[in-house]
Amino acid sequence: MSPRPASTARQQEVLRALGVEIWRQRARAAEQSLAGSATAAAPAAAALPEWDALRAAVRDCRRCELHRSRTQTVFGVGSQAAAWMIVGEAPGGEEDRQGEPFVGPAGQLLNEMLRAVGVGREQVFIANILKCRPPDNRDPRPEEVAACADYLAAQIRLLAPRLILAVGRIAAQNLLGQDLPVGRLRGRVHAWGAAGIPLVVTFHPAYLLRSPLEKRKAWDDLRLALSVAAPVVP
């Protein structure tokens, strides 16, 4: 399936809101096929019992000290048959209160970014490196990331997405096991895990709100993601 430019009136409106100049892409065939059942999304109905067990394990988790200060865990949200998985760093204050990742201004911008490539928030699965909010929104500590690593890996295994979009430095560095800045990780396709799931790095929406001139680069990242895995949705 060939990636398509955002050409509808709604998509053009979204791109204008993002501050990205609208241009037309030449239609081209996808150059990379995602082969093998290891990266094919499993039927949602078959995954439900495992998803429920994993959600319960996260809800009751006491693996690190963050459980003492959280309001609730933030498991993740979206379609359990999604082709795209979005991974951020950790819940903030509003996420901790609502129990859902990427709400508030950064979440609204993420929604607009997804709409710009023809994807609705409900059609992807959104999760974080951490399932609990660090106090004062500080960066996650290594022991906290390690405590949550199995949960995120299980989510990726159950979802088997066609693409992982890592948003922000913390998500990218931890998913890839590297300490390079986002600027050196973006612009190319990485692979996650033994299954080799394609992974694209982009800026965190909160950063884009502070640095709007970087939105053009984020749009380039989304086009790269499209070239790897068109937004095939259930």
- Determine contact, residues 131/146, Cβ cutoff 8 Å: no
Measured CA to CA, the distance from residue 146 to residue 144 in angstroms comes to 5
Res 98 pLDDT > 90: yes
Residue 124 lies in a domain: yes
Residue 70 lies in a domain: yes
**Number of folded domains in the chain?**
1
Residue 40: per-residue pLDDT: 34
Measured CA to CA, the distance from residue 86 to residue 88 in angstroms comes to 7
- Of 142-151, 179-188, 208-217, 222-231, the range with the lowest mean pLDDT is 222-231
Res 56 pLDDT > 80: yes
Q: SS3 of 183, please?
A: helix
Give the model's confidence band at 5: pLDDT under 50 very low, under 70 low, under 90 confident, else very high: very low
% of the chain at pLDDT higher than 90: 74
Residue 103 lies in a domain: yes
Residues in contact with 12: Cβ distance below 8 Å, sequence separation at least 6, in sequence order: 6, 22
Give the model's confidence band at 32: pLDDT under 50 very low, under 70 low, under 90 confident, else very high: very low
Give the model's confidence band at 23: pLDDT under 50 very low, under 70 low, under 90 confident, else very high: very low
Q: What is the CATH number of the domain that holds 55?
A: 3.40.470.10
Residue 39: per-residue pLDDT: 32
For residue 6, give both structure tokens. Answer: 């955002």
Residue 200: per-residue pLDDT: 98
Residue 11 lies in a domain: no
Measured CA to CA, the distance from residue 48 to residue 67 in angstroms comes to 25
- The arithmetic mean of pLDDT across residues 91-100, rounded, is 96
Measured CA to CA, the distance from residue 166 to residue 110 in angstroms comes to 12
Domain that holds residue 158: 42-228
Residue 25 lies in a domain: no
Res 24 pLDDT > 80: no
Residue 3 lies in a domain: no
Res 145 pLDDT > 80: yes
Residue 114 lies in a domain: yes
Question: Which of 36 and 151 is assigned the larger pLDDT?
Answer: 151
CA nearest neighbour of 15 among 27, 25, 6: 6
Residue 34: per-residue pLDDT: 23
Res 21 pLDDT > 50: no
Residue 44: per-residue pLDDT: 39
Give the model's confidence band at 9: pLDDT under 50 very low, under 70 low, under 90 confident, else very high: low
Residue 85 lies in a domain: yes
% of the chain at pLDDT higher than 70: 78
Distance spanning both ends of the chain, measured CA to CA? 15
Note the Cα 73 to chain centre separation in Å. Answer: 18
Neighbours of 69 (CB within 10 A): 12
Residue 230: per-residue pLDDT: 78
